[in-house]
């Protein structure tokens, strides 16, 4: 299954770099990221995971929280087995690998959102750990989960919550899952051309709304989160220069609610995608976008270093904020242009 990828090469990849100077990491941003990473270390569970602390959720979303937690450190160049965070990241990596091994089907009993984030984490970890044996286990786990994703694509080209092709599709899950396939492809795992074509067909024909210039959750329409995710997935599928993708980018750039935590209900989730979509859109757009979300996130960071908005919050907000702030580092391949 290795090194036989079939991603469509975007024409924009051949463009000359923009004359616009890309924003660099500021000292204030580095300090905010460092505080965020220290918060993650302090809140890591004994088993190596990061999860919701809400008893009603039973320590839920551990696959998603741990995957994002690892990526938050990787975006700053920290990997399992190396440096000051090496042992903590080893525990996180071991937690994810154990969950995969203990799962008879490989789906780990979680929904496709978490499967997608797990796939990105495994893709980016592969070859970056201190123990060669770990890399063999990561390869097995990655290939296993990619097989699940490929089998779960609906006939219309999208994905939904359950890892089955008959569970339907929505743009939010589809974006998360396809970004993970792009990450796996970068790591050397086969993603068939047909999978990519069907994904493009779903986004263009089923989800994109020409009147609103964006993507709907189920069917045509416009939401900030689905438009941001839809744009990024479409770009990674080779559609950067199409009119419909450009129209959706314009909609994000002109949405007055985009940078308002109050008005943008899925603030962290939508900006996780939007930031990377602007990276794919070119240096000029990225240079205008990054300072806006950087300044917004610096304002939203809590005194304890987190971006958690309540004690029993979902585990994604802090690592996603660190990933967004760390974009100028360009350490993780799927977040590069």
String of DSSP letters for 100-145: HHT-SSSSTT--HHHHHHHHHHHHHHTT-SS-HHHHHHHHHHHHHH
List of E strands, the chain: 208-209, 214-215
The count of domains in the chain is: 1
Residue 12, CA atoms < 13 Å, CB-side half-sphere? 17
Beta bridge partner(s), residue 209: 214
Q: Is residue 15 in a domain?
A: no
CATH code of the domain containing 317? 1.50.10.20
Q: Is residue 143 in a domain?
A: yes
Whether the Cβ atoms of residue 70 and residue 92 lie closer than 8 Å to each other? yes
Q: Is residue 3 in a domain?
A: no
Per-residue pLDDT of the chain (337 residues; tens, 9 = 90+): 444 334 433 333 334 344 456 688 899 999 999 999 999 999 999 999 999 876 555 558 999 999 999 999 999 999 999 999 999 999 999 999 999 999 999 999 999 999 999 999 999 999 898 888 899 999 999 999 999 999 999 999 999 999 999 999 999 999 999 999 999 999 999 999 999 999 999 999 999 999 999 999 999 999 999 999 999 999 999 999 999 999 999 999 999 999 999 999 999 999 999 999 999 999 999 999 999 999 999 999 999 999 999 877 889 999 999 999 999 998 887 888 7
Residues 6+ apart with CB under 8 A from 282: 12, 15, 18, 337
With a threshold of 0.85, does the pTM exceed it? yes
Could you list the residue range(s) of the whole structural domain that residue 286 is in? 21-47+58-335
CA-to-CA dists, residue 66 to 24, 28, 88, 139, 224, angstroms: 28, 26, 11, 18, 25
Q: Is residue 16 in a domain?
A: no
Give the alpha-carbon dihedral of 73, 258, 266, 115, to 10 degrees: -50
């Amino acid at each position: 299954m290795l090194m036989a990828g079939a991603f469509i090469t975007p024409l924009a990849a051949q463009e000359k770099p923009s004359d616009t100077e890309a924003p660099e990491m500021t000292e204030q941003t580095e300090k905010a990221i460092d505080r965020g990473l220290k918060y993650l270390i302090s809140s890591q569970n004994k088993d190596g995971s990061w999860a919701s602390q809400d008893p009603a959720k039973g320590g839920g979303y551990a696959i998603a929280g741990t995957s994002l937690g690892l990526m938050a450190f990787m975006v700053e160049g920290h990997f399992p087995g190396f440096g000051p965070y090496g042992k903590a990241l080893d525990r996180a990596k071991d937690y994810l690998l154990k969950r995969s091994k203990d799962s008879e089907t490989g789906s780990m009993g979680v929904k496709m959102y978490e499967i997608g984030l797990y796939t990105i984490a495994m893709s980016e970890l592969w070859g970056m750990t201190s123990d060669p044996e770990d890399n063999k286990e990561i390869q097995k786990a990655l290939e296993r989960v990619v097989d699940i994703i490929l089998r779960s694509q609906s006939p219309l080209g999208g994905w939904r919550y359950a890892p089955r092709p008959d569970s339907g599709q929505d743009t939010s899950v589809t974006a998360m899952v396809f970004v993970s396939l792009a990450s796996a492809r970068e790591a050397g795992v086969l993603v068939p051309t047909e999978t990519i074509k069907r994904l493009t067909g779903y986004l263009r024909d089923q989800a994109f709304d020409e009147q609103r210039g964006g993507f709907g959750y189920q069917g045509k329409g416009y939401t900030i989160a689905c438009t941001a995710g839809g744009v990024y997935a479409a770009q990674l599928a080779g559609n950067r220069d199409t009119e419909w993708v450009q129209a959706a980018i314009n909609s994000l750039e002109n949405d007055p609610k985009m940078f308002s935590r109050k008005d943008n209900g899925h603030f962290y989730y939508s900006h996780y995608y939007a930031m990377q979509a602007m990276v794919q859109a070119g240096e000029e757009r990225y240079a205008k976008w990054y300072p806006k979300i950087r300044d917004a996130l610096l304002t939203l960071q809590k005194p304890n270093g987190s971006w958690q908005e309540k004690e029993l919050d979902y585990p994604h907000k802090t690592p996603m904020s660190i990933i967004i702030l760390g974009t100028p580092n360009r350490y993780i391949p799927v977040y590069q242009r």
